[in-house]
Structure 1
Amino acid sequence: MSGFDDNPFADPFAEPSIQQATRSSTQNGLEEYDPFSSTPTNTTVGGTGNTTNYVQPTVGAPTQPAMVTPTPANPPSYTPSAQQQVSSAEFQRRQEELEKKAEELARKEEELKNAGTQGARQDNWPPLPSKFPVGPCFYQDINVDIPLEFQKIVRMLYYLWMFHALMLLLNILGGLSVFIAFNEGAVFGLSILYFFIFTPFSYICWFRPVYKAFRSDSSINFMVFFFVFSFQLIVSIISAIGIPSMGSCGWVTVGKAFNESKIGLGVFLALIACCSTFLALVMAYALLWVHRIYRSTGASFAKAQVEFSQGVMKNEHVQNVAANAATAAVRTQMTQSTTGATSPRF
């Protein structure tokens, strides 16, 4: 019966060995656990015939939230255009042009102020010396009188007139050469006459009208220019042809010189003929250019007629003549009325 001394209804946890094991495991677990330790601790969970190593989790510092650092994207490749590639020389040239225009505007304002304070502007063309017995006859300043968009064509026409005068002078030299070589004085004599007539008359009859036309937008001056300049163009074409009886050294005269085996004279006359041909071509181009501008400005023949009538009515001499005629007519009428009233009746 000794083997059955234990009470089967007794508390199994009341045995001293089980209570000691349970107490030691609980105390060791609580005593060895350190929540602030950075190294894990091994806790042995004891039991009857069984030991288990329990690794405590490491409690570290709180971690930062994950953030994505943006990487700067490279800018797209930029290729400057041809218009943006302005060199320093181009920039300097534009700067000089702006300064020149500013100086011209300042000078124009000064000229206008002086004209307003001093009255009529003093004539400055032709630029003759002060000791010359004849003074200037016209006032000419393209930078002051002509609008900026028309200065190029007016300046070109002025240079064309100067080249025309030079060609008349070369025609005199060609006529002298023909007179010496062929003993023909007609070309030489007419060339001198042409120089002294056409040089001043070309300036007065076609350059001054076109100058005043662009200065004041005058349709009647445009009409005068077209009429006279067309005649001048025809004369230049005839001069380039070189009919000997008309006093010009052209291609006909050149052929005659080469036929007579006068090579030097032929080369000189050919140079004059080339210049005359070039002059005729430039005149034709200038005539078309001015006509294009004339059509774009809204000018017309009707406007020219209105300007002519207004100019005639505003002319002081015409007004004086009309006033004198009206006064004479009134006096005649009054005289006739007085005579009729005092005459005896029969």
Structure 2
Amino acid sequence: MSDFDSNPFADPNASNPFQDPSVTQVRAAAPPGLEEYNPFTEVKPAPAGMAPKTGGTAANVQPAIMKPTEEPPAYSQAQPQPQQTRAAAELLKRQEELEKKAAELDRREREMQSLSASGGRKNNWPPLPEQFPVGPCFYHDITVDIPVEFQKTVKIMYYLWMFHAGTLLANLIGCLAWFCIDAARGVDFGLAILWLLLFTPCSFVCWYRPLYGAFRSDSSFRFFIFFFVYICQFGIYVIQCIGISGWGASGWISALTALNRSVPVGIIMIMVAALFTSLAVMSLIMFKKVHAMYRTTGASFEKAQQEFATGVMSNKTVQTAAANAASRAAQESFKEQI
């Protein structure tokens, strides 16, 4: 066989490389304990003069932990942005408005059902006592008849009408005080009574009720009635604000005239003149507001004409009169032919 198949260390006469004098000299010069050091274990060699530790295992060795020089900042929850907060507030506000509208619609539906079950709506305005010989003439309930988006405007106009009635009553008091210091002002006092008794119900019937019905049924014809009458009412407010003597109004001219005779009466009439002025200003503002809302409802003059024609032709009195006129015309034409 070849020499490669033989074991070179099997020969007893072969030299041992670890017994070489240079190797043994280095081993003798090595520090004690180094010969027990095993680099593949986690146990460190014992220093010189100390016995190696026994019973230590790898499980007792703790890993090195580095401590930071500065403490980490405390965790704080991210604050919401202002825009997010504003958007959330708007959403909550819209949700509340929708809930209010839904509750109001439910209430109106229940009320309409109760009214239909009871046989129809009963007049409730003016709110007169049951013992009064005259009963209410109109049914007035803004929350039931008027759509939600128009209720605020109708309520303001109703309060404006009440303010109008109160101003006429104050005008009566002012003219009475003027008549007390000047007997020649009896005409103004009498006209003040007439204006209170005439304009209070007429203003309710002639411009407030048309406005109420216009928003209730989206009637173009009622809108035009309101605009026409309310323009005339605004002109009356201006005249009453001026206060021409002999016209039954405690306006500025009348107030300054009475101030020369009596300071207390002049002050009362000046307050009434201020009420007429504020009434005229508020009426002009509400007229513009109602006109702007009228343009958004889709009403027009053509619709008003159609409603007027339909209403006139559906009236039984008009139908009877038209039938009588037609029959008379037919009879006269028949007689002429004979």
* Category of TM-score, reference length = shorter chain: 0.7 to 0.9
For structure 2, the 5+ residue unaligned runs are 1-7, 43-57, 59-71
Counterparts in 2 of 1:72-87, with a 5 A limit?
Answer: 77-81=78-82, 84=85
Please name the residue that 1:34 is paired with: none
In structure 2, give the amino acid aligned to 1:210: L
In structure 2, give the amino acid aligned to 1:297: T
Counterparts in 2 of 1:118-267, with a 5 A limit?
Answer: 118-183=118-183, 184-260=185-261, 262-267=262-267
Judge conservation of contact 2:260–2:266 (CA < 8 Å) in 1: no
CA distance, structure 2, for counterparts of residue 326 and residue 50 of structure 1: 150
In structure 1, give the amino acid aligned to 2:264: G
**Once the 2 structures are TM-superposed, how far is the Cα of residue 169 of structure 1 from its aligned partner?**
0.5
Please name the residue that 1:59 is paired with: 40
Larger Rg belongs to:
1
**Once the 2 structures are TM-superposed, how far is the Cα of residue 121 of structure 1 from its aligned partner?**
1.1
Q: How many equivalent pairs are there?
A: 289
SS in 1 for 2:136: coil
Are residue 313 (structure 1) and residue 313 (structure 2) matched? yes
In structure 2, give the amino acid aligned to 1:177: A
Counterparts in 2 of 1:270-281, with a 5 A limit?
Answer: 270-281=270-281
CA distance, structure 1, for counterparts of residue 200 and residue 282 of structure 2: 18
Pick which of 106-115 and 289-298 moved more.
106-115
Q: TM-score, normalised by structure 1?
A: 0.73
SS in 1 for 2:19: strand
CA distance, structure 1, for counterparts of residue 22 and residue 156 of structure 2: 125
**1:50 and 1:103, CA in 2 relative to 1: closer, same or farther beyond 3 A?**
closer
CA distance, structure 1, for counterparts of residue 331 and residue 312 of structure 2: 25
RMSD in angstroms over aligned alpha carbons?
3.5
SS in 2 for 1:132: coil
CA distance, structure 1, for counterparts of residue 107 and residue 124 of structure 2: 16
**What whole-Å deviation, never above 9, does each CA across 1:183-206 have from its counterpart, x for those lacking one?**
121111000001111010000000
**What whole-Å deviation, never above 9, does each CA across 1:202-250 have from its counterpart, x for those lacking one?**
0000000000000011011011001111111010111111111111001
**Once the 2 structures are TM-superposed, how far is the Cα of residue 46 of structure 1 from its aligned partner?**
1.1
In structure 2, give the amino acid aligned to 1:192: I
CA distance, structure 1, for counterparts of residue 95 and residue 155 of structure 2: 23
**Once the 2 structures are TM-superposed, how far is the Cα of residue 126 of structure 1 from its aligned partner?**
0.4
The one of 12, 19, 23 equivalent to 1:46 is 19
For structure 1, the 5+ residue unaligned runs are 1-12, 26-44, 63-70, 341-346
CA distance, structure 1, for counterparts of residue 157 and residue 230 of structure 2: 11
SS in 2 for 1:185: helix
Query: Which has the bigger relative contact order, CA under 8 A and spacing at least 6?
Result: 2
**Once the 2 structures are TM-superposed, how far is the Cα of residue 269 of structure 1 from its aligned partner?**
1.1
Q: TM-score, normalised by structure 2?
A: 0.74
**What whole-Å deviation, never above 9, does each CA across 1:157-200 have from its counterpart, x for those lacking one?**
00000000001111110010010111121111000001111010
**Once the 2 structures are TM-superposed, how far is the Cα of residue 330 of structure 1 from its aligned partner?**
6.1
CA distance, structure 1, for counterparts of residue 221 and residue 287 of structure 2: 16
CA distance, structure 2, for counterparts of residue 156 and residue 327 of structure 1: 50
**What whole-Å deviation, never above 9, does each CA across 1:64-96 have from its counterpart, x for those lacking one?**
xxxxxxx9x97884344277279x9xx8x9998
Pick which of 327-336 and 301-310 moved more.
327-336
In structure 2, give the amino acid aligned to 1:178: W
CA distance, structure 2, for counterparts of residue 85 and residue 224 of structure 1: 44
In structure 2, give the amino acid aligned to 1:151: Q
**Once the 2 structures are TM-superposed, how far is the Cα of residue 118 of structure 1 from its aligned partner?**
3.6
**1:279 and 1:140, CA in 2 relative to 1: closer, same or farther beyond 3 A?**
same
In structure 2, give the amino acid aligned to 1:110: R
In structure 1, give the amino acid aligned to 2:239: I
In structure 1, give the amino acid aligned to 2:246: S
Please name the residue that 1:112 is paired with: 112
In structure 2, give the amino acid aligned to 1:277: T
**1:334 and 1:276, CA in 2 relative to 1: closer, same or farther beyond 3 A?**
closer
**1:60 and 1:323, CA in 2 relative to 1: closer, same or farther beyond 3 A?**
farther
**1:180 and 1:310, CA in 2 relative to 1: closer, same or farther beyond 3 A?**
same
Please name the residue that 1:39 is paired with: none
Judge conservation of contact 2:101–2:148 (CA < 8 Å) in 1: no
In structure 2, give the amino acid aligned to 1:317: T
What fraction of aligned residue pairs are identical, expressed as a percent? Answer: 44
In structure 2, give the amino acid aligned to 1:227: F
**Once the 2 structures are TM-superposed, how far is the Cα of residue 131 of structure 1 from its aligned partner?**
0.6
In structure 2, give the amino acid aligned to 1:272: V
**1:83 and 1:153, CA in 2 relative to 1: closer, same or farther beyond 3 A?**
farther
CA distance, structure 2, for counterparts of residue 107 and residue 273 of structure 1: 43
**1:50 and 1:208, CA in 2 relative to 1: closer, same or farther beyond 3 A?**
closer
